[in-house]
């Protein structure tokens, strides 16, 4: 008991400790099963306050709790050498308290001003970004404005940096874009979607010397017309050999044949 008189214990915790001592040593027992309702009824504390008090006693190692999931037992720890007493409460004079409060107020104001200044600087930085820290180069931005897809810009820029190094490269990529748009402008391609930016910029060199492929039907019609022209020239030349004058017609057909590549 002398050890208890030298130990600082909060009021609610002391009430619960006294009740545990009464329920154990008061009935010649080392430990006893005590419900929260019994604590509350004996001490006048509500159950949440009882729980806080018991937790405090366990933290101070004044009470040992045994809980098997069904019954909770409490025992007073007589080994006072293992107790963990609270630190001694320091009482300050009113003058010191006043000085501390003033200092705290000063530092709170200073911290608040510092946070406000940092916030203003951050907002200013966001509102006026440094052009030197721009993610994309100016020449890329120029050609990207010509490209009408907003998708894949980051990957497109990576391909652009890897493939465009000289003025000729920049001229070629603009030519490639012109050819690509000419390809899309054809009637047969009017429903073809624009490629993702990353796809086109990765393969832009394919469009530098792009020539629209001629369809099989066009080739077939061209071959048939060529045969007709050749047959017509031979026929007119045969008639001309018999005295007829088809020089102008023959020349016209030969010019058409020459335009076909023959």
Over range 236-258, report the average pLDDT.
Answer: 85
Looking at the structure, tell me whether residues 196 and 220 fall in a common domain.
Answer: no
Residue 149 placed within a domain: yes
The tokens describing 97, both together, are: 């308290």
Q: What pLDDT score does 9 carry?
A: 83
Question: Using 50, 70 and 90 to split pLDDT, how confident is the model at 11?
Answer: confident
**Contacting residues for 212 by C-beta, under 8 A, at least 6 apart:** 183, 186
* Contact of 9 with 60, CB cutoff 8 Å: yes
Residue 72 placed within a domain: yes
Given a cut of 60, whether residue 198 has pLDDT beyond it is: yes
Residue 114 placed within a domain: yes
Max Cα–Cα distance, the chain, nearest Å: 152
Integer Rg of the chain from CA: 49
Given a cut of 90, whether residue 175 has pLDDT beyond it is: yes
Looking at the structure, tell me whether residues 168 and 193 fall in a common domain.
Answer: yes
Given 66, 82, 98, which residue is the final one in a domain?
A: 82
Q: What pLDDT score does 262 carry?
A: 53
Highest mean pLDDT, choosing among 7-11, 196-200, 215-219, 244-248: 196-200
Q: What average pLDDT does the chain have?
A: 83
* Contact of 201 with 154, CB cutoff 8 Å: no
Looking at the structure, tell me whether residues 200 and 142 fall in a common domain.
Answer: yes
Q: What pLDDT score does 226 carry?
A: 85
The string of DSSP letters for 54-90 reads HHHHHHTTSEEEEE-SS-EEEEE---GGG--PPPPPP
- Determine the 3-state secondary structure of 99 from DSSP: helix
Q: What is the 3-state secondary structure (H, E, C) of 127-162?
A: HCCCHHHCCCCHHHHHHHHHCCCCCCHHHHHHHHHH
**Percent of the chain predicted with pLDDT > 70:** 85
Q: What pLDDT score does 74 carry?
A: 93
If one compares 188 and 10, the residue with the highest pLDDT of the two is 10
Residue 133 placed within a domain: no
Question: Using 50, 70 and 90 to split pLDDT, how confident is the model at 172?
Answer: very high
Given a cut of 90, whether residue 46 has pLDDT beyond it is: yes
Q: What pLDDT score does 250 carry?
A: 86
Where residue 26 sits, what CATH number does that domain have? 1.10.10.10
If one compares 132 and 214, the residue with the highest pLDDT of the two is 214
Out of 26-30, 100-104, 211-215, which region has the weakest mean confidence (pLDDT)?
A: 100-104
Question: Using 50, 70 and 90 to split pLDDT, how confident is the model at 134?
Answer: low
Q: How many domains does the chain have?
A: 4
Over range 169-190, report the average pLDDT.
Answer: 88
Q: What pLDDT score does 4 carry?
A: 75
- Determine the 3-state secondary structure of 222 from DSSP: helix
In this prediction the pTM is: 0.35
Query: Which among 160, 162, 165 is positioned nearest to 141, based on CA atoms?
Result: 160
**Residue 63 forms beta bridges with which residues?**
76
- Determine the 3-state secondary structure of 213 from DSSP: coil
Given a cut of 80, whether residue 215 has pLDDT beyond it is: no
Beta strands 31-33 and 63-67, pairing class: unpaired
Question: Using 50, 70 and 90 to split pLDDT, how confident is the model at 51?
Answer: very high
Query: Which among 242, 227, 175 is positioned nearest to 205, based on CA atoms?
Result: 175
**Residue 66 forms beta bridges with which residues?**
73
What's the domain range around 30? 2-82
* Contact of 21 with 76, CB cutoff 8 Å: yes
Residue 180 placed within a domain: yes
């Amino acid at each position: 008991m002398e050890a208890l008189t030298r130990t600082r214990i909060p009021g609610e915790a002391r009430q619960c400790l006294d009740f545990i001592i009464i329920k154990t040593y008061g009935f010649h027992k080392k430990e006893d099963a005590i419900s929260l309702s019994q604590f509350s009824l004996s001490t006048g504390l509500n159950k949440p306050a009882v729980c806080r008090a018991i937790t405090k006693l366990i933290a101070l190692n004044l009470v040992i709790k045994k809980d098997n999931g069904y019954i909770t037992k409490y025992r007073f720890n007589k080994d006072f050498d293992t107790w963990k007493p609270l630190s001694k409460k320091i009482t300050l004079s009113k003058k010191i308290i006043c000085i501390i409060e003033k200092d705290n107020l000063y530092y709170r104001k200073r911290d608040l001003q510092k946070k406000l200044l940092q916030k203003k600087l951050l907002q200013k930085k966001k509102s006026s970004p440094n052009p030197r820290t721009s993610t994309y180069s100016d020449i890329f931005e120029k050609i990207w404005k010509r490209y009408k897809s907003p998708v894949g810009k980051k990957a497109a820029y990576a391909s652009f940096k890897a493939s465009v190094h000289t003025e000729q490269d920049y001229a070629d990529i603009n030519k490639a874009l012109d050819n690509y748009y000419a390809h899309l402008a054809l009637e047969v391609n009017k429903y073809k979607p624009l490629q993702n930016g990353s796809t086109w910029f990765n393969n832009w060199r394919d469009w530098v010397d792009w020539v629209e492929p001629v369809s099989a039907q066009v080739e077939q019609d061209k071959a048939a017309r060529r045969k007709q022209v050749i047959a017509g020239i031979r026929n007119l030349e045969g008639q001309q050999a018999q005295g007829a004058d088809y020089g102008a017609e023959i020349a016209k057909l030969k010019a058409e044949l020459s335009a076909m590549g023959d």
